[in-house]
Structure 1
C-alpha cells in the first residue's frame, strides 16, 4: 500500500468528518480492554500490581499490532479503506481544535465545564486565568500526544507504529496516576509512554521555533518539571508570551492568559500542525518511510 495516499486520505477524513463513532473507535477498544483487565485485578501489592499492569499493556499493544496488520491481508480497495480508517483513529487534529475552542467564553461556569472535558485537574475552584491556562496547556500537550507523536511513529514504523503509540498513550491516560489504585498497576504503561514521547515532545518544541525563536529555547530550559509533557507547554507559553501554570507543579512566565490568548493559541496550533503535516508529507514522498507491510 502507498503510505502517502493513506496519510492524505486519513488527513482528509479528519478535516471533513472528525472522529469515528465511539463504538467503532480503536482508541475506545484499547480503553475497553484495559478497563476490563483493570476492574478484574484485585490489588495484591507493588510487585504483582506492576506485573499485572505490564501484562495489561502487552495485551493491549498486541491487540493494536494485530489490528494494524489486518489491512495488509485484504483485497483492494478494502485494504486502503481500513488502513485510512485506522491511521485516522491514531491522530486527532479537528476534534482537539473543537474541544479547546469551546473553552473560549466569558461565562465562567460554561468555561469550567468546557475545560473539565479536556483536563484531569479539578476545575471547580479555578479562576478565569487558570482556566485559560489549563485550556492552552491541554492544547499544547495534546498537540504532541494527538498529532506529532502518532505521525512520528507512522513515519518510522508505518501503521503498526501509529496504533501502538496510540494504545500506549491511551493506557497512560487511563492508568498512569500516582494514587493508591494505580501507583504500581499503572507504572509500566506510564514509563513506556515516557519513552515513546521523549523524542516527539522535543520535536514538537522545534516546530515552535519559527514562531518564537530564542524565547522558545529559553522557556525550554525552564521545563524541568516533567520528563515530556511540560516541554510543548513551555514552547506555547513562549510564543504567546503568557504564563501557563499547573499550581504546585510548574509555571512558565508571561502575562496573564485571557480568552483572546486561547484564540491565539488555536492559530498557533494550526500553524504548527501545518508545519508537521508538510514535513510528514515531504518525507513520505521522498520514500524515507520503512516498508508498510507486516
Structure 2
C-alpha cells in the first residue's frame, strides 16, 4: 500500500507541478557529470571507448547510490525522498508541454520549439518535417520518459527507475554516431538499446486499442532502428500521417499539420492513462518489489 501511495503522490506532483527545480533535479546532476568529463576528455578512438564506458559506470553508480538513500532513512523521510526520486525518473506533464508549444502557425516559433525537443538541425526542416519531428519526439519520449522508467520501477523498484533514467540521459547526451561521440558514447548507447528493448515494444502494445491492424502494419515497417522507431511507427499508424527523419526512416501517410500534433497529444494522454492504470494495478497486487523501505 505504501508503494501505491508513493506512486500516486509522485504522479500527482508531476501532473500538478511538473519538474523539480534544476538545481536539485537528479537528471540534471547526471548531465552535469557527463558534461564535466566530456569537455575535459581529449579524444582518441580506443581511449575514448574506455573513458566513455567508465563515465557511464560512474553515472550509473551515482544514480544507484541516490536510489538507495531512502532505504537508510526512517519513515516518513524515507517515503518523502522515495517520492521525490521516483518523480524525477519520469515526466508526463513536461513532455506534453514541450510538444504543445510546437503548435503554432509562426514558422520561426515552431522551429525554436521543435529545436528544444529534437537533436536535428531544425533550420533545414520545412513545416511538414517540423510537424513530423514534433510528433516523432512525442512518440519516442513517451517510451523514454514515461513507459520505460515506470517499467523498471515495477521490475526493480526505485533503483531500476533511477538507473534507467541515468542511462537514458547518457544516451541523449553522448549516444551519437559522429566524430566526437562514435567511441565515447558507444557503451552508453548500446546499454540504452538493451534497456529499451522491452519497453519500446511494450509501448507499441499500448497503442493497439486505438487501431491494432494499422499499428501492427506499421510495426512491420519499423526496421530502421533497434528501438526508437517502434513507438514512432505506432503513433504514425494511429494518426495516419507521414513521419520521416530524412536519411534514417520514413513511415507513410498524409503530411502532418498542427491539428495532427494536437491529435497526437490526445493519443499521448490516452496511452499514458492506460499505462498508469496498468502500473497502479500491478503495484496494488503487491507482486512487484517497487518499494520495500
TM-score range, shorter chain: over 0.9
Q: Which residue of 1 aligns with 2:132?
A: 133
Q: Which runs of 5+ in 2 are unaligned?
A: none
Pair 1:33-2:37 in alignment: no
TM-score by length of 2: 0.98
Distance in 2, Cα, partners of 1:50 & 1:133: 34
Structure 1 residues 197-216: aligned runs within 5 Å: 197-216=196-215
Q: Which residue of 1 aligns with 2:11?
A: 11
Distance in 2, Cα, partners of 1:94 & 1:286: 27
Does the residue aligned with 1:120 lie in a helix, a strand or coil?
A: coil
The verdict on how the C-alpha distance between 1:291 and 1:276 changes in structure 2, with shifts beyond 3 A counting, is closer
- RMSD after superposition: 1.1
TM-score by length of 1: 0.98
Once structures 1 and 2 are overlaid, which stretch shifts more, 158-167 or 172-181? 172-181
Does the residue aligned with 2:118 lie in a helix, a strand or coil?
A: coil
Distance in 2, Cα, partners of 1:183 & 1:128: 31
Structure 1 residues 86-105: aligned runs within 5 Å: 86-105=85-104
Q: Which residue of 2 aligns with 1:159?
A: 158
Distance in 2, Cα, partners of 1:54 & 1:72: 28
Distance in 2, Cα, partners of 1:129 & 1:279: 35
Q: Which runs of 5+ in 1 are unaligned?
A: none
Q: Is the 8 A contact 1:223 1:234 kept in 2?
A: yes
Does the residue aligned with 1:103 lie in a helix, a strand or coil?
A: coil
Distance in 2, Cα, partners of 1:75 & 1:199: 35
Q: Is the 8 A contact 1:57 1:168 kept in 2?
A: yes
Does the residue aligned with 1:245 lie in a helix, a strand or coil?
A: strand
Q: Which residue of 1 aligns with 2:189?
A: 190
Q: Which residue of 2 aligns with 1:20?
A: 20
Q: Which residue of 1 aligns with 2:265?
A: 266
Distance in 2, Cα, partners of 1:276 & 1:53: 34
Distance in 1, Cα, partners of 2:292 & 2:66: 13
Q: Is the 8 A contact 1:165 1:196 kept in 2?
A: yes
